[in-house]
Structure 1
Amino acid sequence: MSETKALITPPGADKVLARKRPAAPARSARQRVGRVLLYVMLIAAAIAMLIPFFWMVMSSLKDANSVFSVPIRWLPDVFVWQNYVEIWQESGLLTWIKNTLILSVGVTLLQVTTGSFAAYGFSRIRFPGRDALFLLYIATIAVPWQSYMIPQFIMLSNAGLANTLWSILLLQAFGAFGVFLMKQFYETVPEELSEAARLDGLSEYGIWARIMLPLSVPAIASLSLLTFVNTWNDFLGPLIYLRDPSLWTMQLGLNNFVSSLYDVNFGVLFAGLVISVVPIAIVFLLGQRYFVEGIATSGLKG
C-alpha cells in the first residue's frame, strides 16, 4: 500500500502540501478580524441612530428648564412622569391619534389593494403598449408632489372634499412605488401556476385573489410597512387639506400645540413625540422579518 502511495504521489509533493497547510488558519484569522470589525461598525452605527431616540425619551421625563441645559444632561435628575399626563390633558392627543390611525390604515389598505391589482395586470396580462405604459407610470415617482399639489388642491376643493379625511385618502390611494414593488415580486412567481388556474376555469380576478396574493405576503408586508410609516409621518398633506382641529393628525396637532403656547414646555412636547413614535415602533418590530424578506429576496429584483 505504501509503495502504491509512493508511486501515485509525485516527488516533493509532501513539502508543497506542508507549506500550504498553514494558510487556512491565517485566512480564517483574517475572516474573524474582518467580522469583528464589521460588528463594531454596525454597533457604532446602531448607537449613532439610537442616541437621538434615547435623548427624546429622556427629555420627555425632564422639567421644562432641563431639556436644553448646557452641558447636556442625558438622564433627568427627577423623572417627571407628569409630562405624559399633561399632554393628554392639554391637547387633543386622542383625536390626533384616531385621525392618524384612520388615515394610515386606510391609505395602507388602498395602496396594497390598488398596487397589487395593477401590478398583476402589468406582470401577467399582455396588451399593446404594456411596457411603455408601465415605464411611464413608474416615471411619476421622479415628479415631486410640490409641482402638482396646487392643481390637486383646486380639484379636490371643487369636488367639496377639502377639509375632510377623504382628501388624504384619495390623494394617496394609488402609488407607483407599490405597483413597482408588487410587479417585481409577481415576476418571480412561476407563470405555470396562472396557466394551470386558467385551464381550471379560474378568472383573472380569482388568480389574483386566490393565488398571487397568498404567495406575495413578504411583498405585501414590505409595502404595508412603508406606506403606514409614510402616512403616519406625513405633515404637508394634512397641513394643506385639514383645517378643522377635529381632523388634525399627530404631526399637525403637535405642531399647532407648540405654536399655540407662549412659553413652550418642551418636556410635555417630547412626551407627545414619544407617544407619536410608539405605534411606528410597534408596527416595525412586528413586521420587520417580513419587510426584510420582501425587500431582500424579491421586492427589488430587476
Structure 2
Amino acid sequence: MGTETLQTPWKKAVWYLVLTALAVMVLFPVYMTLVRALSTPAAYVQAGQPPWPVDVQWDVFSRAWNVGDFGSKIWVSVVVTVIIVAAQLLTSVLAAYAFAFLEFRFKRVLFVVFMATLMLPIEVTLIPNVQSIRSFEWLNSYPGLVGPFLATAFGTFLIRQGFMGIPRDLRDAAALDGFGHLAFLRRVAIPVTKPIVASFAVIAFLAAWNQYTWPRAVVTEGDWETIQIGLKSVQASTVDQNNLGFAAALIAALPILLLLVFLQRQLVRGLTAGAVKG
C-alpha cells in the first residue's frame, strides 16, 4: 500500500512531463511563426534566425490585414463556413438517424456505398464538380462555393455511431409515449449524443475554413476570394517582406486556434464517445 502511494506522485510527474513536452512540440511552430511575423526580415536573417524577435515591427498585423484585404475575405469565409457546417449537421443527423433507426430495403448496401465516397479524393471529383458549377453559372457565388459540401459521409458515420449506442428499448418507450421520429430525434437522440454532434461541428468548421483547392477552382474575382486564397496572395506579393506572410498566416489561423481552445473538451469527448459506443 505504501509503495503504491509513493509511486502515484511519480507517475503523475512523469505524465505531466510527457504532456508538457508534447505541448511544447505542438506550440513551438506557432511560436516561431509569431517570431518571424514580428521580426524585420533582413535583421532577423543577419542575427542568425534566433528563437526570439529581432527589430520588432508591431504594426505587421495591420499591414498584413490591409495588404491582403482580409476584411472582405474573412466575411466570405465566415458565410461559406457557416452554411457548410449548418448544412452538414442537418444532412448528417438526418441520414445517421435513418441508418441507425429506420428499416428499409438495401439499407446495408446503401450504407456501404455511402461510406465508399470517403475513399474518393477531391482530385477525382474536382473536374466534374467544376464543370457542373460552370453549367449552373455558379462561379463567383456562394452556391458555387458551398454546393459540393452540403453533405458528408464522415459526419453521417460519426453521428450514426453515437445513435447506435442509444438502447432500442428507449426508442420503443418513446414510441409508446407518442413520440414520432422527429420528436425522438430532437428530444432524445440529439441531446444524448450532443458531444458527438459538437465534435463533428468542430471538424466540419476546420475543414470548411481551411479550404483552398475548391475556392481556387470556382473563384475568378477578388471580391469572392476566401481567407485562404488571400493568404496565398499575400505570400506571393510580399516576397521581400515575408514577415507579412507569417502575420497573415496567424490572422487566418486565429479563429481555428480560438475554436480549439474553447471546444477542445467537446471534441475529445465526442470522438471518444463515438469510438466507445461504436
TM value normalised by structure 1: 0.85
1:273 to 249, 265, 269: 249
The answer on whether the counterparts of 1:91 and 1:257 sit within 8 Å (CA) in structure 2 is yes
How many angstroms apart in 1 are the aligned matches of 2:188 and 2:45? 56
Q: Which amino acid aligns with 1:58?
A: V
The C-alpha deviation readout for 1:245-283, integer Å capped at 9, x for no partner, is: 11111111111222234x431122211111111111111
The C-alpha deviation readout for 1:160-200, integer Å capped at 9, x for no partner, is: 11232212211111111100000000111222332233233
Match runs of 1:31-50 below 5 Å: 32-50=9-27
2:150 to 173, 176, 181: 173
Structure 2, unaligned runs of 5 or more: none
Instruction: Name 2:210's counterpart in structure 1.
Output: 233
The answer on whether the counterparts of 1:182 and 1:299 sit within 8 Å (CA) in structure 2 is no
Structure 1, unaligned runs of 5 or more: 1-23
- 1:285 and 2:250 are equivalent in the alignment: no
Instruction: Name 1:115's counterpart in structure 2.
Output: 92
Q: Which amino acid aligns with 1:287?
A: L
TM value normalised by structure 2: 0.92
Instruction: Name 1:260's counterpart in structure 2.
Output: 237
How many angstroms apart in 1 are the aligned matches of 2:7 and 2:179? 57
Q: 2:158 is paired with a residue of what secondary structure?
A: helix
Q: 2:274 is paired with a residue of what secondary structure?
A: helix
- 1:82 and 2:62 are equivalent in the alignment: no
Change (3 A) 1:96 1:264: farther
- Aligned-pair identity in percent equals 23
Match runs of 1:1-302 below 5 Å: 24-27=1-4, 29=6, 32-69=9-46, 71-261=48-238, 263-298=239-274, 301-302=277-278
Larger radius of gyration: 1
Q: 1:65 is paired with a residue of what secondary structure?
A: helix
- Give 1:210 shift: 2.8
Q: 1:226 is paired with a residue of what secondary structure?
A: helix
Q: Which amino acid aligns with 1:82?
A: D
How many angstroms apart in 2 are the aligned matches of 1:291 and 1:132? 30
Q: Which amino acid aligns with 1:40?
A: L
- Give 1:29 shift: 4.7
The 10-residue stretch of structure 1 (128-137 or 194-203) with the greater mean CA deviation from structure 2: 194-203
How many angstroms apart in 2 are the aligned matches of 1:128 and 1:277? 45
- Give 1:107 shift: 0.8
How many angstroms apart in 2 are the aligned matches of 1:209 and 1:131? 25
How many angstroms apart in 1 are the aligned matches of 2:204 and 2:46? 37
Figure out how many residues of one structure are paired with residues of the other and give that number: 278
Q: Which has more helix, going by share of residues?
A: 2
The C-alpha deviation readout for 1:35-66, integer Å capped at 9, x for no partner, is: 43333222212111111000111222111324
- Give 1:30 shift: 5.0
How many angstroms apart in 1 are the aligned matches of 2:192 and 2:265? 16
The answer on whether the counterparts of 1:111 and 1:175 sit within 8 Å (CA) in structure 2 is yes
The answer on whether the counterparts of 1:67 and 1:267 sit within 8 Å (CA) in structure 2 is no
- Give 1:299 shift: 5.0
Q: Which amino acid aligns with 1:86?
A: R
Q: 1:174 is paired with a residue of what secondary structure?
A: coil
